[in-house]
Copies of this chain bind each other. A is one copy, B any other.
C-alpha cells in the first residue's frame, strides 16, 4: 500500500511517499509548526507534497507530530491511554487538502502515569507503535525523553522527563554550566551517574542540590572544568533513569529509540543497573508505526 506522510514537528517539515515500509521519495524544509501562522499549513503541505497527491490519487495521507497541537494546523485532541493502532485510528482528525481530498492528523496521547499526575506525547506514539514491542519498556530519548510501557501491543502508560531541555538550559542560560570548558572529558558522564545515585534510595539529597554541587566542585578546584558538561549530562540522565525505574519497575531489558550516540549513553547507564538494551532506528520505527496506523485506518 502506498501512502503519503507529513512528519511535522516544531522546527522541521518532513514529507514522505511510502510503499509499505519503504520510502520511495522524501522532501524536507525548515517550515516547522513554530515558523507558521494559522492558515499557512495547507499551502506549505501542497507546495511540498502536492506532486505526490496528483501522482497517487488514492493514497491515504497522514500527518504526525506538533501539526496536531494547538499551534498546529488543526488541534487534534489527545487520545487517552491505554491506546494502540485501533484507538489511534479511531481518533484521527481530518483536514481538507484540495478537491475534497482529506488528510488525517494522528492525535497525541494523554495518560496518568500515576493517580492525579498528567503526561502527554505528540508524535512519539507513532514511533513507539513501530518499534515491534508488544510487551515491555521503551525509552524514546529525544529532547524530552519518554519512557513507555507497552502491554499487549498497546501503549499502557508513559512518563516524560525534561532531561535534554534541562541540559540545554544549564549550558546556555545558567551559572551552573558556566565554568564548563572544552575539550570535554567524557569521563565526566560516569561521575555524573555516580552523583545521581546520591539522589536515589532513602537518603536522596535532591537534584537541585546535586546541580549546584557540580558547579561547586569546579569552582572549589575539586573537579576539572572539562568534566563539567559530561558530568551534568550523566547526572541528569542518571536521575531520569532512577525515576523511570521507580515508576515502571526494573525490566530485564529496555528498547531504546534514539540516535546511535545518545542510545549508547543510555545503554551504558542502564548496564550499571544490570539492564540490557537494544536500539532501534527512529526513522524506521516511525515509518513502521505509520504503516500500522494507515492499515488500521483503511480497515474502517
Contact = CB atoms under 8 A, between A and B. Distances in A.
Contacts of A205: 113-114, 117, 159, 243, 246-247
Interface string A139-169: 0000010000000000000011111011001
Chain B CB within 10 A, most for which of A78, A204, A206, A240: A206
A176 interface: yes
Interface in A119-156: 119-120, 144
B208 A207 contact: yes
Number of copies of chain A assembled together: 2
Contacts of A163: 208
A199 to B, nearest CB: 8
Nearest to A147: B209
Contacts of A216: 110, 118-120, 160
Contacts of A69: 219
Contact of A160 (B162, B169, B170, B213): B213
Interface string A205-225: 111110111001101101100
Given A203-B247, A204-B204, 10 more contacts: A117-B213, A118-B222, A119-B209, A120-B216, A120-B220, A162-B174, A162-B208, A207-B239, A209-B240, A209-B244
CB-CB nearest 6 A-B residue pairs: A206-B243, A161-B208, A118-B217, A160-B212, A120-B216, A118-B216
Interface of A: 69-70, 78, 110, 113-114, 117-120, 144, 159-163, 165-166, 169-170, 172-176, 195, 198-200, 202-209, 211-213, 216-217, 219-220, 222-223, 236, 239-240, 242-244, 246-247
